Amino acid sequence: MECHPIPQRKDWYICSRKPIICPHCGEKKVRKAVLGYPTEEDFMNENIYLVGCLPDFPVERNWGCRNCDAAFFKDNKFNRGRLDMVAHRDKDGRLRLGYPDEITPESITPNEIPF
Ligand SMILES: [Zn+2]
């Protein structure tokens, strides 16, 4: 399993799969993240991590540590693109967040800053 801290936050990690032991606090409390107002059943469920109603920005975590609130993101192009705040233009010229499926000269030289 690969799990690396990301530069944006010291308690955020990008991982090939869900870590069993939290690299931030050492507890075995990493769970699947559930966003939004929880049902009573979810609230009592120790097998999930409740994100709450404020989503992570710029992309929601896949897993969270119930002990220290460290965030874990699955290592894929979507999450990496969002975390790196990359934007590109698709073949129709529309601005998209994340890394493009294919790297072309147009897609990696955006001519405006979207934020
Ligand atoms: Zn932890």
| pLDDT for the residue 109 | 53
Q: What is the pLDDT of residue 113?
A: 57
- Expressed in angstroms and rounded, the spacing between residue 8 Cα and the centre of ligand 1 is 17
Q: How far apart are CA 104 and CA 77, in angstroms?
A: 16
Q: Residue 114: its pLDDT value, please?
A: 59
pLDDT on residue 106: 59
Residue 41: which residues within 8 A CB-CB, separation 6 or more? none
Nearest residue to 100 via CA among 77, 73, 83, 79: 77
Is residue 64 exposed (0-12), middle (13-18) or buried (19+ Cβ within 10 Å)? buried
Distance 109 CA to ligand 1 centre (A): 38
- Please give the pLDDT value at position 52: 83
| CA gap 103, 92 in Å, rounded | 14
Ligand 1 centroid from CA 54, angstroms: 19
Show pLDDT as tens, one digit a residue, over the chain (115 residues): 899 998 878 999 999 999 999 999 999 999 999 988 888 888 889 999 998 888 888 899 999 999 999 999 999 988 998 888 888 888 888 888 888 777 666 555 555 555 5
pLDDT of residue 69: 96
Residue 23 CA to ligand 1 centre (angstroms): 7
Structure token pair of residue 8: 């944006």
Place of tokens 């405006």: 112
Looking at residue 17, its amino acid is R
Q: Which two tokens stand for residue 100?
A: 């493009």
Distance 64 CA to ligand 1 centre (A): 8
